[in-house]
């Protein structure tokens, strides 16, 4: 141990003694960097998963009567986590072991969600690509087309137009009411706001058939409105309203209160503060809330079936009789059991996924902050 001299002065004499240096008196630990992995750690990770696959093959194929890719994947995941924990515990402490275990589990969960999404999209497009190769699928309707006619006859243009009209009307109704409700719950508050928030949270789990029955009872039976695209749009609006209101409420509550206080301190009114400060700040989140509501409404079948009904021809007037939609077209064609009709249904499902993707990208682009804005 290195010693450093220390001069001690007392009345009448001066002496020198040695003390350990301060750099060695306090132990210094190396800083752990958990965000990056070394080559050795990556090699250990690959080795653990290879060993987990080998052990899973031994357990499922030789020791236990377990068969199938699902059980093999589950056993591999469990054994992989165990092996990673054991290998990490050999040359590291408990915090590193916990970090590696949690990181592995979260990565596996994210990969599972991504695999489910990608497999669903690929399966739908793989089953429905044949109708998409014919232009008549996008520009013709199904009037005069039989269940066994070839794919070069008929199309889903009437269902595409019906879905866009119904969802468009539902958006015009649900967005002002949903965002207005969120503003009331967040900016005004009070005892009644808590009641409104409880009702909105309860309505987010509202079954779609209940929304359809509500519109059917109030508009069609009570007010005498005929079954039409307008009634179906109102049912979709009932489904979309609580989703938009709840998501917008969460987004508006994230806006810092200091922005509101600064605006009010400069003499702005509460409405001016909400319109010019709160809503522009929360615009990307509000766009996400709208997309969540649209995704909930555009894929519903039972409300449209109760309030509108299916048509095989083109209808552009939402108040003029029945109007078809893509989910309802998929439901009706799959029920037929005819192979060609089922291919048409998969093609319509692929078109529906593409429409949702286009709406999502459009909403995100419109909600993006403008360049140069402060």
Superfamily (CATH) of domain 157-367:
MetI-like (1.10.3720.10)
DSSP conformation class of 189: -
Distance CA 85, CA 100 (A): 7
Q: What backbone phi and psi angles, to 5 degrees, belong to 159? A: -70, -40
Sole residue written with tokens 């093609």: 347
Nearest CA-CA partner of 326 in 307, 340, 344, 306: 344
Segments in the chain below pLDDT 50:
1, 6, 8, 10, 12-16, 18-19, 21-29, 374
Residues 6+ apart with CB under 8 A from 105: 81
Domain ranges of the chain: 39-127, 157-367
DSSP conformation class of 314: -
pLDDT in the model for residue 26: 45
**In residues, how long is the chain?**
374
Distance CA 72, CA 84 (A): 18
Q: Considering the entire predicted model, what is its pTM? A: 0.74
Residue 280's CB: how many other CB atoms inside 10 A? 13
Distance CA 308, CA 311 (A): 9
Indicate if the alpha-carbon torsion angle 205, 231, 354, 176 is positive or negative: negative
DSSP conformation class of 243: H
């Amino acid at each position: 141990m290195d010693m450093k001299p220390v001069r001690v002065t007392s009345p009448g004499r001066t002496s020198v003694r040695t003390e350990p240096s301060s750099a060695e008196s306090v132990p210094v630990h190396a800083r752990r960097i958990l965000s990056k992995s070394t080559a050795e750690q990556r090699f250990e990770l690959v080795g653990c998963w290879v060993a987990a696959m080998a052990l899973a093959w031994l357990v499922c194929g030789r020791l236990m009567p377990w068969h199938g890719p699902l059980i093999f994947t589950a056993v591999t995941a469990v054994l992989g986590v165990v092996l990673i924990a054991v290998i990490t515990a050999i040359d590291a402490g408990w915090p590193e072991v916990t970090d590696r275990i949690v990181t592995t589990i979260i990565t596996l969960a994210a990969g599972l969600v991504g695999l489910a999404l990608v497999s669903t999209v690929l399966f739908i497009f793989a089953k429905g690509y044949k109708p998409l190769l014919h232009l008549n699928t996008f520009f013709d309707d199904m009037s005069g087309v039989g269940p066994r006619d070839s794919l070069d006859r008929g199309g889903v243009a009437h269902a595409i137009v019906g879905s866009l009209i119904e969802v468009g009307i539902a958006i015009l109704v649900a967005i002002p009411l949903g965002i207005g409700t969120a503003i009331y719950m967040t900016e005004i508050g009070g005892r009644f706001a808590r009641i409104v928030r409880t009702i909105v949270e309860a309505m987010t789990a509202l079954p779609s058939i209940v929304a359809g029955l509500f519109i059917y009872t109030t508009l069609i039976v009570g007010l005498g409105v005929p079954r039409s695209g307008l009634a179906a749009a109102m049912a979709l609006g009932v489904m979309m309203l609580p989703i938009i209101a709840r998501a917008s409420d969460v987004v508006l509550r994230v806006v810092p209160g200091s922005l509101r206080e600064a605006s009010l301190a400069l003499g702005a009114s509460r409405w001016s503060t909400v319109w010019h400060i709160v809503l522009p700040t929360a615009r990307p989140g509000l766009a996400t809330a709208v997309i969540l509501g649209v995704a909930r409404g555009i894929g519903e079948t039972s409300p449209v079936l109760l309030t509108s009904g299916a048509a095989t021809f083109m209808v552009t007037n939402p108040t003029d009789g029945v109007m078809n939609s893509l989910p309802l077209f998929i439901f009706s064609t799959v029920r037929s059991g005819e192979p060609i009709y089922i291919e048409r249904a998969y093609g319509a499902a692929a078109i529906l996924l593409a429409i949702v993707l286009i709406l999502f990208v459009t909403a995100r682009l419109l909600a993006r902050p403008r360049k140069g804005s402060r």
